[in-house]
Amino acid sequence: METVSEVLADAGDKIQKSFDALKSQFAGLRTGKANPAMVDQLKVDYYGCPTPVKNLGTISTPEPRQIKITPFDPTVIDAINKAILAANLGVTPQTDGKVVRITVPELNEERRKEIVKVAKTQAEAQKVAMRNVRRDANDEAKKLEKDKKISEDDLKSALEKIQKLTDEGIAKIDAELKAKEAEVMAV
C-alpha cells in the first residue's frame, strides 16, 4: 500500500467484514423463535456433493415456531432430514413427503445460557479478528514511515485513526452481543 488512506480504508473494510460475519453467525443461533437462518447454511449431501439447504429448496416460517423447507426435488427430503439431525440443532424434522417441517421448541433456562455462551465465544473470536486487522494496519503504517513515504507525525495520526476504527468495531460487536443476549434470554 502506498498511502495512509489506503491502509485505513483496507482496515475499515476488514473490520466491517468481521462485524458482518458475526451478524450472520448470530442469525443462525436459536432464540426460541423460528428463523430460516437456523438452517440456511446447513450442508446436505446431494448426490455426493455437500450443498446448502437454501440451494435445494425454499425456506419459510409459516408460523412463529415453525420452519418449512420445500425442496425443489422431493427425492432430497431424506437427506435434508439427516442433515438437520446431524447438525444437532435441538430440533426434530417432520416430513409429509413433499415438505420438511421443523417445530422450534421453547428454550429452557439452561439452553438459553448455553446459547449466550456460544454467542459470547463468537463475539470474542471476531474481536480477536479485528485486533489482528489493527496489528496488520499498524505494521503497514510503520512500514510506510520506515520507507520514508510518510512522516512521524503522519504515522502517529494513522495509528490513532486505526485504533479509533478498531474501538468502534469492538463497540458495535458489544452492542450486537448485548442485543442478541437480550433476545435469547427473553422468555
Report pLDDT digits (tens) over 137-182: 999 999 998 988 888 899 999 999 999 999 999 999 999 999 999 8
| pLDDT bucket at 100, cuts 50 / 70 / 90 | very high
The ranges assigned to domains in the chain are: 4-27+108-185, 37-103
Strand partners, 33: none
CATH topology of domain 4-27+108-185: Topoisomerase I; Chain A, domain 4 (1.10.132)
pTM (two decimals): 0.72
Strand partners, 66: 63, 103
**Pairwise CA distance, residues 38 & 127, whole Å:** 23
- How far are the Cα atoms of 59, 84, 156 from residue 71, in angstroms, in the given order? 9, 14, 56
pLDDT tens digits for 37-56?
Answer: 888 778 998 888 899 998 99
pLDDT tens digits for 60-72?
Answer: 999 888 999 999 9
Residue 27, all three cell numbers:
442469525
Q: How big is the chain, counted in residues?
A: 187
CATH class of 37-103: alpha beta
Q: For residue 64, which amino acid is it?
A: P
